[in-house]
Amino acid sequence: MIETPGATRVPRGLAGVSVSDTRISKSSADGSLVYRGYPIAELAAKASFEETAYLVLYGELPTRGELDAFASGIWKRSTTDPRVFDIMRSLGGDAQPIDVIRTGVSALGSIDVERSIEDKETSIESKMSVLAANSLRVPRGEQPRLPGETGGFADRLLRMLTPREADDFERWVFERVLIFYMEHDMNASSFTVRVVASTLADPYAAASAGLASLKGPLHGGANEAAMEMLLRAKDPENAHEFVEATFKEGRKLMGFGHRIYKQFDPRAKLCKGYLGEMAKKRGDDRLYRLCDAIEMEMWERKKIPPNLDYYAAPIFYLLGIEVPLYTPIFAASRVFGWMAHYNEQVEENKLIRPDSTYVGPLGRNYVSIEKR
C-alpha cells in the first residue's frame, strides 16, 4: 500500500464529504431543499421555469425587464445548426437518446459560433431542450420538431416532446417537474461538470461530461427505469408480489432511495400530489394507486422513501411522452444548474485533482513477452 503522507481518506462514494462551498442550492436529510435560499415548495407554488433558472444562474429573482431579456435570449439562441441534426440522424434509430444529445452537444462545441463564455452557456441552455426533444425522432429519420413561437420554456418543450395537447393544469405540472429537475447541489452530474470546469475546459465539454454522468440508472436514468418498473408491475393489486419478487432477485426498486434524503424527498412529495390531481381529473387513478401501493410496501420493508424520479415518471407517462425521453427532459432542465456550477467553479477555481491510496502489488520485475 502506498499512501501520500498527510492525505485524508474519505468514505467510499464521497458520502458525507463536503467537497466545495456553494451558494446555488442545498438539500438536507430532513427533506428540505433550497435554491439560492428559497424553499423549493415556494418556488413550485409561485415561480415560472425561467424565473427559477435566472435565480439559479445569477443568485437573485429577476426584475420584469431582466426576465423578459433572459427568456427571449433563450428563445433566440434555440435555433440549431442543421449539421447538428445531421450528426444526430447519422447515429440511427437504435441510438439511446441521452447518447444522441451528448453527441449533439459535443458537435455544438465545434459548430457553434458563440464567442463569450456567457453566450456559449446560453446557447447550450436553450439548445439542450431542442436536442432533448429530438433525440428520439431525428435518429429515427423523422424531421426535427422545433420550438413554437408562443409560450414559455416549459410549454415549448412539452409541445416538442409530444403531439398530445396538454390542458392548463398538466402544463403547470410539467413546468413544476422541470423546476425540480433543475438543480440539486453536489449530485453526480453537477460534480462531474465542476471537475471538467476546474480544468478550464469550455462549457460544451462540461455539459457533455454532465450528460455522460446523467445517463446512469443510479442518477438521471432512474426516471426511465422507474417507469419501466411501474409498467412491469401493472396493477396496484400486484404491488406486494412485485416488491417481494424484486427483492428475491436481489434487485433494487428504481426511483427509491437517495444519498441525502432519508425520510422523504420534498420534490417527490409535491409530484405525488400533482399526480393524484391529474388522476382525479382523468377519472382514472390506477397508476396513482400503483405508485402509492409500491411506495407503502417499500416503506414497510426498508423505510426507504421514493425520490423525484419515481413520481416524475408517471407524470410524464400521463402527459403522453415516450419513456426514452424522460432522461433527456431531466437534461433539458438540469443544464441550467450545470451552468451555475460551471460558473461558480471557474470563479473560485482550484483544479479538482484528488489523491488515492495505492493498494496494488509492489516490487514486480518486468518479464519479456516471450517468457510470459
Q: Catalytic: 285?
A: no
Q: What residues are paired with 256 via a beta bridge?
A: 306
Q: Which three cell numbers stand for residue 325?
A: 425521453
Binding of ligand COA by 255 (CB under 6 A):
yes
Positions in 212-231 near ligand COA (CB under 6 A): 218, 222
- C-alpha 312/C-alpha 238 separation (Å) is 21
Piece of the chain touching ligand COA by CB under 6 A; list 98-106, 230-238, 247-255, 281-289: 247-255
Which residues have CB under 8 Å from 53's CB, separation 6+?
70, 125, 153, 182, 336
Give the active site residue among 184, 258, 265, 341: 258
Shortest distance, position 259 Cβ to ligand COA, whole Å: 4
Binding of ligand COA by 254 (CB under 6 A):
yes
Radius of gyration of the chain, Cα coordinates, nearest whole angstrom: 22
Binding of ligand COA by 10 (CB under 6 A):
no
Q: Which helix (H) or strand (E) holds 27?
A: strand 25-27
Shortest distance, position 267 Cβ to ligand COA, whole Å: 9
3-state secondary structure of 34: strand
Positions in 308-367 near ligand COA (CB under 6 A): 309
Alpha carbons within 13 angstroms on the beta-carbon side of residue 67 total 14
Shortest distance, position 317 Cβ to ligand COA, whole Å: 16
Q: Which three cell numbers stand for residue 14?
A: 464521497
Give the active site residue among 219, 240, 285, 292: 219
Reference 160, options 356, 322, 342; nearest CA is: 322
Nearer to ligand COA, 107 or 312 (CB): 312
Measured torsion, CA atoms of residues 186, 272, 321, 340, in degrees rounded to the nearest 10: -20
Q: Catalytic: 219?
A: yes
In the list 253, 268, 275, 321, the residue contacting ligand COA (rule: CB under 6 A) is 253
Piece of the chain touching ligand COA by CB under 6 A; list 20-28, 168-176, 248-256, 315-323: 248-256
Positions in 14-43 near ligand COA (CB under 6 A): none
Binding of ligand COA by 242 (CB under 6 A):
no
- C-alpha 55/C-alpha 306 separation (Å) is 27
- C-alpha 199/C-alpha 346 separation (Å) is 9
In the list 5, 6, 11, 13, the residue contacting ligand COA (rule: CB under 6 A) is 13
- C-alpha 51/C-alpha 62 separation (Å) is 6
Strands in 168-278 per DSSP E: none
Positions in 279-308 near ligand COA (CB under 6 A): 302, 304, 307
Q: Catalytic: 258?
A: yes
Report the sign of the C-alpha dihedral through residues 71, 77, 79, 82, in that order: negative
Binding of ligand COA by 124 (CB under 6 A):
no
Shortest distance, position 3 Cβ to ligand COA, whole Å: 24
Catalytic sites, residue numbers: 219, 258, 309
Which residues are at the interface with ligand COA (CB under 6 A)? 13, 218, 222, 252-259, 302, 304, 307, 309
